[in-house]
Structure 1
Amino acid sequence: MGDSRKKRAVVIGSGFGGLAAAIRTQAKGYEVTLLEMRDKPGGRAYVYEDQGFTYDAGPTIVTVPFVLDELAEVAGKKLEDYVDIVPCDPFYRIYFNDGRVFDYRGEQEKLEAEIHKFNPADVEGYRRFQDYSRRIFDRAFTDLADHSFHSIWEMIKVAPDLIKLRADKAVFSRVGEFIKDPNLQQVFSFEPLLIGGNPLRSSAIYAMIHYLEKTWGVHFAMGGTGALIRGLVKLFEDIGGTLILGARAEEILVENGKAKGVRVALGSQEEDLTADRESGYHFSKTKEEFFPADVVISNGDVANTYRKLVKPEHRRKWTDRKLEKMKYAMSLFVAYFGTDRKYDNVPHHSIVLGPRYEGLLTDIFDKKIVAEDFSLYLHRPTATDPSLAPEGCDGFYVLSPVPHLGGGQDWAGLKEEYADRIFASLEKDYLLPDLRKHIVSKLLFTPQDFHDRLDAFQGSAFQFEPLLTQSAWFRPHNRSEDVEDLYFVGAGTHPGAGMPGVISSAKVLDRFIQ
């Protein structure tokens, strides 16, 4: 087959899901164009630079490196030629409000010693929980992560196993059946928050995250997550793919029920925090263009892809009304900051828990209020890679789960005061003493920015809340139910949010795109 007859694919959005889909589809022999509305690739994994500090905007925890290795192999490449991924130890340090500390580690003996410090009787319960986590992983990730739930029969076939594994129960209550110490219950149930879930009601399926981390470790890409994105873009381009930046999708053209291409407005979004025109990435100069395609793959927000890009007359299932009735995951408030001193006592990944656990989760997910207290994820990448900040300095981000825009907060008016409260809470002797005196760089990102910059419906950071009734077959499918030759990857489709999930979502498409 000559190049002139090569099948064409257009991928909307260059986050991890879009890059994975673009690489896999290009490797199949398609001519792939990857469209990105912003001035850099990465989607939620965008990179900001300020005063010599490099800030990864989004995902910073690499938990299953083999899904990346596999992606490179599909393209006939080796991942290590494109990026250097290193392990983190401890995985996380968890700070409790009473000053106690738990180091979450991979080695069994060290982890059990940490558990023993809190409650010796829970060591045995933890071993049973670990076994349960492994059994869920074996079924839910190994067998089902790249499984297509395009048919209800696919769901019915696996239902007995999920019932047996008590997937109907919430992570928090399931952990409580094995582990009795309240602090340890938080340690082993917080992980659904990393993918937008409420531990009080997210399916116990997500208990598999513990086994996944325990087995493969927690890793970091040297140079930051942005270096991983740059590596995957280079890999995609090395096998013949084309990336175009500043290209916002305006419409997926549908003819006779089939996707036929993507109409874009080019140069339509300028970033006002930073811009990197010297990156070597390609900006198209024309204002509007149409990209014909045999296959269209969206890594954009699923709700907004349907609502904004596919005309209502082409949608029988995913109507605006149905999409608006879905339950959306929480959002995030993120403060990126650099200090003119180092805080060597703080590890790469920290979880700083507030005085409340269940009450705070209820405020965020159900009442949708911004509480006076908070639990935080503190990221200090300079613990692993000092090059991300000027010499003698440290770079951080701190992330606070908050309600999505359905809570009605005015983040423009709230953000400075909220950031200051967070910084003040971190000024403990064992954390970041005198922090506010040492901050020399600061950028704030709110739920409104998720809505405005990332085109996220309701400003949700993770799209649909990971409930059992919104998982697998119940989520919008990887193969569109409404439009032929339209496919979805990323957090809003199967298997869901998180780096392993969105990369696995591209593998699902292997069943459909030949």
Structure 2
Amino acid sequence: MMTRVDPSLPALARRATAPHAIVIGAGLGGLAAAMRLGAKGYRVTVIDRLDVPGGRGSALWRDGHRFDLGPTIVTVPQVFRELWRACGRDFDADVDLRPMEPFYEIRWPDGSRFAASGDPEKMRAEVARLSPGDVAGYERFLKDSLERYEFGFEDLGRRSMHRFTDLLKVLPRFAMLRADRSVHAHAARRFRDPRLQMAFSFHPLFIGGDPFRVTSMYILVSHLEAAFGVHYAMGGVAAIAEAMARVVEGQGGLMRMETDVDEITVEKGRCTGVRLGSGAHVIADLVVSNADAGHSYDRLLRNHRRRRWTPKRLKRSRWSMGLFVWYFGTKDTRGMWPEVGHHTILNGPRYGGLIDDIFLKGKLSEDMSLYVHRPSVTDPGVAPEGGDTFYALSPVPHLGGDDPVDWQAQAEPYRQRVQAVLERELLPGLGAQLTASEVFTPETFRDRYLSPHGAGFSLEPRILQSAWFRPHNVSEEVDGLFLVGAGTHPGAGLPGVISSAEVLAQLVPDPQEAR
């Protein structure tokens, strides 16, 4: 009787002798890097201190409510589809994406509202309803956004910027596009109505940037929304992370969860692997760090002399704001609050003043603006029958200021203030319906994600902390070390961290050259 040979065995045998790559961190950038390395033929081990993959894109369950801990919006599905294709897989077979319409609603204290939409005519009508004289400015703003998308996203954002000559080549284009101007300053040139100035300038907050000071290149987000829409993954972003982990394991990769990496080991200027919290040394031919870039250089390379990303350099860097997030569930509310959709932005009475308090003064203000996520209107499985699941996110100062907020004392009083705003402006009667509750503060981000100063999005994306000025995807400190994720080029946000792995794949040698 002839024995049948599994045709995958030769491939598995080759994989067993392939060069070994370690990926530190199972956030979305790390998982995307692992997928790219696996597709190139590396034997990959992903190591993460949490119990589930996803990093900031993971989820918690409390009393039948699923709380999506971090990102909630997918704006450029193509980066995921391209990643899956590179691995010989079909993203849409693994992940159920649902388009949002409207994308989100913005509300102001005067009662006015703005619904962002994928329908161009609806968008023009919304602009005209608030300020008829700003329609022409809106059209110009969209053209401006497209120009910056083509240059900033499709060009710079999808290739490495680790050589100084890369920067020199693009400086004229930066100058022509007035990259020195802030996002808000650019919006103010196109819109006279302050509400529209806010509606088309707040987006940098979702990647950790001050709209009044980050480069106007980031108005490209308006084109991303118009061209690709806003989507929600059924099961949350955690479902995307879980699907990515399955691809990694399907490639023969290993997911080592609940495991701390204490140090990146170096010998004669070359990375040799990692030392775990247990003391074990795991040898590798190359290491990719999806840990925060600041943590990678300040902590994981603490025993190696650094030339560029020294403790002094990191200390004077500008970090993104912190985040206060209240996750909460409700009972018997599925028919309540019918005008509250999946994504709502509640503006406080101040825009510029509040931003200054957060980014410049490091002050916890009495007033606040909130992003409110209500996934149960799209995904009923996030809550018990008849209930809802929410989170309310408030930008707050990070912990690196001269007088950081004592969140041990302030967390509950601030949560109560958030609840009061919600009951007054969006969810009347909320208090009587509350069930599960969980609070994350900047201290949580510091301790759970090892984020310097508890920053929500690593380094702030100012012009002198972007492109060549940002930590490079290939480390200039140690041979064989690469970086991906929010703190590296091209930056934070789902499209940015997934694109960082695409850039990585261009830099990492083929397996036969890695040893």
Give the structure-1-normalised TM-score.
Answer: 0.94
Which residues in structure 2 correspond to 1:118-157 (within 5 Å)?
118-157=130-169
Does 1:39 pair with 2:51?
A: yes
3-state secondary structure, aligned to 1:145: helix
Aligned residues of 2:16 and 2:43 also touching (Cα < 8 A): no
Aligned residues of 1:35 and 1:245 also touching (Cα < 8 A): yes
Could you list the runs of 4 or more consecutive aligned residues of structure 1 that deviate by over 4 angstroms after TM superposition? none
The correspondence for 2:374, drawn from 371, 374, 380, is: 380
Q: CA deviation at 1:3?
A: 4.1
Report the RMSD for the aligned CA atoms in angstroms. 1.1
Aligned residues of 1:314 and 1:483 also touching (Cα < 8 A): no
Distance 1:510 1:58 in 2: 26
* 1:350-405 CA-partner distances (Å, limit 9, x unpaired): 11000000000000000010000011100000111011100110000000000000
Distance 1:145 1:467 in 2: 15
* 1:426-465 CA-partner distances (Å, limit 9, x unpaired): 1136x21111111111000000011111100011011111
The correspondence for 2:365, drawn from 357, 371, 378, is: 371
The correspondence for 2:211, drawn from 195, 199, 218, is: 199
Distance 1:211 1:352 in 2: 23
Equivalent residue, structure 1, for 2:395: 401
Distance 1:290 1:146 in 2: 34
- The aligned amino acid for 2:312 is R
3-state secondary structure, aligned to 2:148: helix
- The aligned amino acid for 2:169 is K
Aligned residues of 2:266 and 2:272 also touching (Cα < 8 A): yes
The correspondence for 2:23, drawn from 11, 18, 21, is: 11
Q: CA deviation at 1:329?
A: 0.7
The correspondence for 2:444, drawn from 446, 449, 456, is: 449
Equivalent residue, structure 1, for 2:339: 345
Distance 1:229 1:317 in 2: 32
- The aligned amino acid for 1:403 is P
Which residues in structure 2 correspond to 1:261-280 (within 5 Å)?
261-265=273-277
The correspondence for 1:318, drawn from 302, 309, 313, is: 309
Equivalent residue, structure 1, for 2:230: 218
Aligned residues of 1:312 and 1:319 also touching (Cα < 8 A): no
Structure 1: any 5+ residue segments left out of the alignment? 266-286
Q: CA deviation at 1:4?
A: 4.8
Equivalent residue, structure 2, for 1:208: 220
Q: CA deviation at 1:307?
A: 1.1
Equivalent residue, structure 2, for 1:334: 325
3-state secondary structure, aligned to 1:113: helix
**Cα gap change, 1:2 to 1:394, in 2 (>3 Å):** closer
- The aligned amino acid for 1:471 is S
3-state secondary structure, aligned to 2:179: coil
The correspondence for 1:104, drawn from 108, 112, 116, is: 116
Distance 2:179 2:328 in 1: 39
The correspondence for 1:490, drawn from 468, 471, 485, is: 485
Q: CA deviation at 1:239?
A: 1.6
Q: CA deviation at 1:288?
A: 4.2
Distance 2:304 2:424 in 1: 57
Distance 2:367 2:235 in 1: 33
The correspondence for 1:440, drawn from 423, 432, 435, is: 435
Equivalent residue, structure 2, for 1:478: 473
Distance 1:309 1:92 in 2: 39
Q: CA deviation at 1:314?
A: 3.1
Give the structure-2-normalised TM-score.
Answer: 0.94
3-state secondary structure, aligned to 1:350: strand
Q: CA deviation at 1:240?
A: 1.4
Distance 2:449 2:190 in 1: 39
Equivalent residue, structure 2, for 1:422: 418
- The aligned amino acid for 2:507 is F
Aligned residues of 1:257 and 1:314 also touching (Cα < 8 A): no
Distance 2:305 2:17 in 1: 28
Q: CA deviation at 1:289?
A: 2.6
Percent of aligned pairs sharing the same letter: 46
Aligned residues of 2:15 and 2:252 also touching (Cα < 8 A): no
- The aligned amino acid for 1:295 is L
Does 1:70 pair with 2:82?
A: yes
Q: CA deviation at 1:320?
A: 1.1
